[in-house]
């Protein structure tokens, strides 16, 4: 009986030791990237169900990053990526109009990760903080039912702060998978400059997003899935 207890104890200790063998060891680096998607849909209608405005946006982002492990709970890194958003909208008032807008931006994002391991340390909760700086172009086409279409092109510079919740999992000691959805908090300040305007008109606006855990919402970070390799 004592031998069985001893062997069982050794087996459990072995499982725990293996569970602790993941890449979250101080001084290690890990590299990889995250791919994200979000969708935003908006419409207004009257009591009879007639739609006056309808808008749909699709956003895809890709953010490779290099990270350094400070401790079993913290890492810091730098991401370089790209984000593309396409919006289509229809408006019906006295006449029908259509608008299409596409935005492509490059992104530089210092990153902080906070990990909370659960169970055998292969799985847990993490919080991702980013301070993204983005720059790129935005093209818009406005097509009224009467009159000539109008096209504009803006240069864009934006910066902000974003904190997102996620889950991490180590299928092997050197490979980590992370899935995150939405934002706990997001703040963005964006500056647009009209390239086709003679006096280069500029516009600035700020957006906030708090506790938005979904695929919809203009500032929802959407679903982000990432894979990382430790070395």
Q: Tell me the torsion sign for CA atoms 178, 183, 185, 186.
A: positive
- How far apart are the C-alpha atoms of 36 and 15, rounded to whole Å? 34
Which residues are CB-neighbours of 15 under 8 A, at least 6 positions away?
120
Residue 92 in contact with residue 109, Cβ under 8 Å?
no
Q: Residues 100-104: what's their mean pLDDT? A: 90
Q: How many domains does the chain have?
A: 1
Q: Is the distance from CB of 158 to CB of 193 less than 8 angstroms?
A: no
Task: Provide the residue range defining the domain that includes 93.
Answer: 2-230
Residue 5: pLDDT band (50, 70, 90) is: very low
Residue predicted with more confidence, 212 or 111: 111
More confident call, 41 vs 166:
166
- Looking up tokens 């050197």 gives 174
CATH number of the domain that 10 lies in? 2.40.128
pLDDT tens-digit profile of 120-159? 788 999 999 999 999 999 888 887 766 677 788 888 899 9
- CA–CA separation, 35 and 64 (whole Å): 9
């Amino acid at each position: 009986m004592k031998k069985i207890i001893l062997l069982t104890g050794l087996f459990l200790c072995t499982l725990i030791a293996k569970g602790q063998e993941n890449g979250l060891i101080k001084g290690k680096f890990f590299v990889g990237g995250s791919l994200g998607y979000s969708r935003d849909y908006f419409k207004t209608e009257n009591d009879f169900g007639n739609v006056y405005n309808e808008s749909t946006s699709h956003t895809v982002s890709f953010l490779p990053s290099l990270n350094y492990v400070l401790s079993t709970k913290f890492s810091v890194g730098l991401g370089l990526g790209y984000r593309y958003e396409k919006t289509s909208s229809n408006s019906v008032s006295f006449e029908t109009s259509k608008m299409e807008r596409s935005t492509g931006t490059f992104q530089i994002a210092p990153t902080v990760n906070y990990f909370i391991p659960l169970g055998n340390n292969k799985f847990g909760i993490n919080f991702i903080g980013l301070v993204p700086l983005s720059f790129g172009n935005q093209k818009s086409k406005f097509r009224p039912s009467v009159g000539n279409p109008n096209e504009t092109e803006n240069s864009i510079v934006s910066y902000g702060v974003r904190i997102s919740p996620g889950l991490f999992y180590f299928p092997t000691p050197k490979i980590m998978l992370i899935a995150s959805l939405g934002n706990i908090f997001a703040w963005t300040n964006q500056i647009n400059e009209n390239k086709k305007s003679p006096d280069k008109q500029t516009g600035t606006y700020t957006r906030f997003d708090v506790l938005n855990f979904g695929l919809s919402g203009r500032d929802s970070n959407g679903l982000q899935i990432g894979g990382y390799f430790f070395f």
